[in-house]
Structure 1
Amino acid sequence: MNTLRGFLKNVEELAACVFFLIMCSAVMLGVCARLFNLSIVWTDELARYSFIWVVFIGSAAVLKRNQHITIEFLSTVLPELGQKYLRTIIGLILMGIFIVLIRYGVLITQDTWSVPSTSLGIPTGLVYLAIPISGTLMLFYTIIDLIATWKNDGGPTSEKREVNI
């Protein structure tokens, strides 16, 4: 049970690591193949698509742990209640952005699902699927942040956040 719980807590990190390993392997294979004057065309495409997934899923993982780069000038000069309101305004803006990501990510995924990629031949929609998945995860973690902001004294700080499952 603890293994499953640990897996679920870190599923974004694990997925990002898998895509990062795929990306690095594809790049290394492409470079090594070029040393022997071989051309493996699908390595560039696989590396590019893996990078897209690393960026989007990695963004969700960083947001979950509340470790994005922030400018803390306003939060340091505001009183505690002002900090709560500031975090709420930022959270609501982020939620709007994530809803747009989800909506248009689903639309572009549907539109490109039947379009095969150039060298891999996989549906291009699989690449675009990273957008609504990461948008949904980030929306979920932002809602958790807003609830924690008003439920607790001040909510999450710049420390690492734990998501209890």
Structure 2
Amino acid sequence: MPDLAHSLLRPLRWSERTLDAVIAPVVVTAMAALIGVITLQIVSRVFFTAVGWTEEVARFLLVWITFLAATLAFRRGRHIAVTFVVDALPGLPRRLARIAALLVALGFLLGLVVIGWEYMQVQSFQKSASLRLSMTWVYAVIPLSAAIMAWYALVDVIGLVLGEAHEPEEEAP
């Protein structure tokens, strides 16, 4: 059974690593862009006339960085959690408690996908003040990041059901 579980989980874990490998550089690039935009905003205000679009771009970048970085934190098990009771449980009860917690998180995340999608649709007619960008693009990160975290939770549930003792991955040194 362990070999079967491992072969079933291999493509799922590969998909997690692939998503992570795509999201991490996007977050780093967005952080660099955020630093650049804020620097431009400060320099332009001090020495010239303020550049109008910088505040809006900074705000939108911060929203996207927050949600996308949350997916990275979720995969690595870095979100706030009180685990001392679960950690104190022996084998099977610990695994069942982790499955239950992941199922609750999965339910929440799927709800967030639906609500985020609806909110994105409601705001689709609205344009941002400076850039005239459709607010759909700004709010699209909500259902996107919730769907990614839901996928991570689902893969972890499948792994625990199949008996894999998967701990959240640590960042590479």
Could you state the TM-score of these two structures normalised by the residue count of structure 2? 0.82
Does 1:86 find its partner at 2:107?
A: no
1:85-124 map, 5 Å:
85-124=96-135
The one of 57, 74, 80 aligned to 1:69: 80
Q: Distance in 2 between matches of 1:159 and 1:120?
A: 39
* Conservation of the 8 A alpha-carbon contact between 1:64 and 1:138: yes
Unpaired segments of 5 or more residues in structure 2?
A: 1-14
Unpaired segments of 5 or more residues in structure 1?
A: none
RMSD of Structure 2 on Structure 1 (CA): 2.1
What is the aligned length? Answer: 157
Does 1:24 find its partner at 2:24?
A: no
Task: Select the structure that is richer in helix.
Answer: 2
Distance 1:13 1:107, change over 3 A: same
The one of 135, 155, 167 aligned to 1:144: 155
Q: Distance in 1 between matches of 2:161 and 2:122?
A: 40
The one of 156, 159, 162 aligned to 2:166: 156
Could you state the TM-score of these two structures normalised by the residue count of structure 1? 0.86
- Runs of 4+ with >6 A deviation: none
> After superposition, what is the alpha-carbon deviation per residue over 1:20-77, rounded to whole angstroms, capped at 9, x for unaligned?
1221111111001111141112111101110100011111112123333332211221
